[in-house]
Amino acid sequence: MDTDIPLEPILELVGVFVGAMSGALAAVRKQFDVFGIMVLAWAAGLGGGILRDVLIGAVPPVGISNWRFIATAVAGATLIYFFHPRLERARRFIVVLDAGALALFSVVGTIKGLEYGTTLTAAVIVGVMTGVGGGVLRDLLSGEVPVVLHHRQLYAIPALLGSTVTAILWWQGAITTVTSVLVVIAVFALRVTALRFQLKAPGPWRGTVR
């Protein structure tokens, strides 16, 4: 199926760059050395894509085989390495970057899954895992509890909604550059709004209080 999305590779490269910056900034805040900064940037920028490619059989994954993606991750890490004294003062900068990567990867991951012939359901799952995978790997390597698992944050839910909408648009033959970018913006806006107003997912059900 022709998805008519010439910007798809660009969207993924932007996602890698933004994700790598979030990983590098997390490494700087943990006082990692230059090698640790590069590794965490690579993990955050490319971890979700590697997981996606393994799941859909697109091997070797672009995260270890495509020099453009690797170079983009290195570029994001280098930017943070030299300019972090200003950037790390903004305590919310890392979560804003992560929101951008989440939005980009959830859409691009879903589309790539569909291009490789997965079912709609599988593509949605792949999109969500692509969206959250880099952030999970970043948090684990930096010694943090993955944000997707704690504080009941709306993290995976925006990715799930974005992936679902993307799959429906594909099914309806309505995937275009414009619609894909609109879904990315919507996922990003939902994530940032949840952060701004501290919206949370429901916690454990405690039953009826008597």
Quick: pLDDT tens for 114-164.
999 999 999 999 999 999 999 899 999 999 888 787 767 788 999 999 999
Q: With a cut of 50, list the residues of the chain below it in pLDDT.
A: 1-6
Q: What pLDDT is stored for residue 210 in this prediction?
A: 55
Q: What pLDDT is stored for residue 4 in this prediction?
A: 46
Q: What pLDDT is stored for residue 2 in this prediction?
A: 46
Q: What pLDDT is stored for residue 49 in this prediction?
A: 93
Cβ neighbours of residue 39 under 8 Å, at least 6 residues apart? Answer: 27, 141
Q: What pLDDT is stored for residue 93 in this prediction?
A: 75
Q: What pLDDT is stored for residue 14 in this prediction?
A: 87
Q: Is 79 buried (19+), middle (13-18) or exposed (0-12) by CB count in 10 A? A: middle
